[in-house]
Amino acid sequence: MAKKIRLDKLLGHMGCGSRSDIKKWAKAGLVTVNGVVIKDNGFQVDHEVDEVRLDGNVIAYREYVYIMLHKPPGVISATEDSRDQTVVDLLPDELRAFDPFPVGRLDKDTEGLLLLTNDGKLSHELLSPRKHVPKTYYAVVRGEVTAEDGQAFATGVTLDDGYVTKPAQLVILEHLCGSEELHSRIELTITEGKFHQVKRMFASVGKQVTYLKRLTMGTLRLDEQLPIGAWRELTVEELEQLRGSRE
Ligand code: URA
């Protein structure tokens, strides 16, 4: 079936410019479809077969974007907000033109891996409770995290609202005995995404998370070369593997 889309929508989606720019350029005869100048912005094109050019340059259409963001603290996992900076605010206009949204949420103070996309189907499947997509977090926890905590998490702990968590895997990396109080460095893998889940799981065993960073989601791992606050598009391999991890 033909995939028809308005010409101005296609150019806008590809981050070519604002609606008014695109209108101006079309009027000036800079936009062609299959070699024919088109001045009507509402002209319908089939993005799979029609060749669209702007000022002589071919505009290759793509529908979806998949972005890995190294989320910094202090930024909220939303597309817009009247007070705070959002994760979408960290992206350039060319990517924002695709209307990406975060796949799930990280708390304002949580750092690390956040996937943004405009692919609602993939997002839905990665977040579906039925898919049990694993997510690994690195955390610093006040106090001594013990093997008993690990056993409790492996069986399931009761959160403050009575919810019993699904089995989770705890790895204790190190106990830090600084000049002040003892802290523990750990990794925790969970397969669900309740509100503040990691913090509330530790609260259920009487401990407080003081630093939290997400490392993985399904097969996707935070690229440690990506500085905090930076983003990059997923590689073809990462995307293929991620699609596999929801099946
Ligand atoms: N668990 C939390 O407590 N916070 C997050 O941001 C993610 C998981």
Q: What is the pLDDT of residues 174-186, one digit of tens each?
A: 998 876 789 999 9
66-129+227-244 maps to which CATH number?
Answer: 3.30.70.580
Q: Beta strands 52-54 and 31-33: pairing type?
A: antiparallel
Q: For residue 135, which atom of ligand 1 is closest to its CA?
A: 8
Non-local (6+) Cβ contacts of 50 within 8 A are 33, 34
* Pick from 189, 187, 225: nearest CA to 68: 225
For domain 4-58, the CATH superfamily is RNA-binding S4 domain (3.10.290.10)
Q: The CATH number of 135-217 is which of 3.40.50.2300, 3.40.920.10, 2.60.220.10, 3.30.70.1560?
A: 3.30.70.1560
Tokens describing residue 108: 């304002």
Separation of alpha carbons 105 and 245, rounded Å: 19
% pLDDT > 90, the chain: 83
Least confident of 15-19, 84-88, 157-161, 191-195: 15-19
Phi, psi (degrees; rounded to nearest 5) at 152: -60, -45
Q: Where in the sequence numbering do the catalytic residues fall?
A: 107
pLDDT tens-digit map of 184-216? 999 999 999 999 999 999 999 999 999 999 999
User: Phi first, then psi: what are they for 70, rounded to 5°?
Assistant: -90, 90
Tokens representing 39?
A: 């001045």
pTM for the model stands at: 0.87
Per-residue pLDDT for 61 more than 60?
Answer: yes
Nearest CA-CA partner of 133 in 191, 89, 182, 175: 191
CB 90 within 8 A of CB 70: no
Matching fold, domains 66-129+227-244 and 135-217: yes
Tell me which residue of 171, 211, 201, 174 sits closest to 187, measured CA to CA. Answer: 171
What are the structure tokens assigned to 139, written together?
Answer: 């955390």
Q: What is the pLDDT of residue 244?
A: 85
Residue spans per domain, the chain: 4-58, 66-129+227-244, 135-217
Residue 247 has pLDDT above 60, yes or no: no
Ligand 1 centre to CA of 238 (Å) is 23
Q: Give alpha helix (H) positions in the chain.
A: 7-13, 19-27, 93-96, 120-127, 147-155, 197-204, 236-245
Query: In which band, very low, low, confident or very high, does the pLDDT at 13 lie, cut at 50, 70 and 90?
Result: confident
Does the beta carbon of 16 sit less than 6 angstroms from any atom of ligand 1? Answer: no
